[in-house]
Amino acid sequence: MDILKSYIREGEHQTQDFKFRVDDSKKIARTLAAFANTDGGRLLIGVKDNGKVVGVNPEEEFHVIQGAASLYCKPELTVKTQIMQDDHKLVLEVTVDEVENKPIKALDDEGIWKTYVRREDHTLLASKILIGVWKMQKNKIATPQTFDENEQLVLQTIKEAGQITLSKLYRVTQLKKRYIDKLMVLFVSWEVVNMSITPSGTFFSIVKD
């Protein structure tokens, strides 16, 4: 019980989420996948967003979680569960480890497999640049000593903007989208450019020395 209370005092954050109950396997699959694609995480089922313990039937919730992890996550996710207790109320703790081979995808309501990440207490869609960076990590390319004219144009545009979205970068530089996408994957992989995924969008900025 003391462990549960200490978890609840932390509130919701990047590696912890509260759920009153789980009644939508697809929706919970997105949270599980987001944890796996980020830093891992913990679900406390039977706890309201405000931290109030309401309790659940752990067996019922377990079946929904198992279905979400096996049917609506690709590749299938492995989750660990344990039952926690606060007075006479039961809470199901579900933990997910960060996976090495990203991404884990989750099925959305339209039947499309999408990639999600966790940022603070939000489950967000991963940007195509981040997905490209994950692929790059399997086959690293050394950072060049110098950049050509177009590469310098992109870097200068980002620097002058302070932070910029991909769509604005397309408009300002007027370079081909596919070229910029490839370049941004390289820049982020080389840690020349920082990428920040937020609820209001994905922003790029120059990594300061």
Contact 26, 106 (CB under 8 A): yes
Residue 118: predicted pLDDT? 97
What are the pLDDT digits (tens) for 55-93? 999 999 999 999 999 999 999 999 999 999 998 999 999
| C-alpha–C-alpha distance, residues 174 and 168, integer Å | 10
What are the pLDDT digits (tens) for 148-191? 999 999 999 999 999 999 999 999 999 999 999 999 999 999 99
Q: Where are the beta strands (DSSP E) in the chain?
A: 16-19, 41-45, 73-74, 80-86, 89-96, 105-107, 113-119, 122-125, 193-198, 201-206
Question: What pTM, to 2 d.p., does this model score?
Answer: 0.91
Q: What is the mean pLDDT of residues 198-202?
A: 93
Backbone φ and ψ of 134, nearest 5°: -60, -40
Average pLDDT, the chain: 94
Q: What is the mean pLDDT of residues 90-98?
A: 97
| C-alpha–C-alpha distance, residues 39 and 79, integer Å | 14
Contact 89, 4 (CB under 8 A): no
Does residue 29 have a pLDDT over 90? yes
Residue 1: predicted pLDDT? 59
Residue 137: predicted pLDDT? 84
Residue 130: predicted pLDDT? 97
Q: What is the DSSP letter of 68?
A: H
Amino acid identity of residue 154, one-letter, is V
- The band of 140, judged by pLDDT with boundaries at 50, 70 and 90, is confident
| C-alpha–C-alpha distance, residues 148 and 103, integer Å | 31
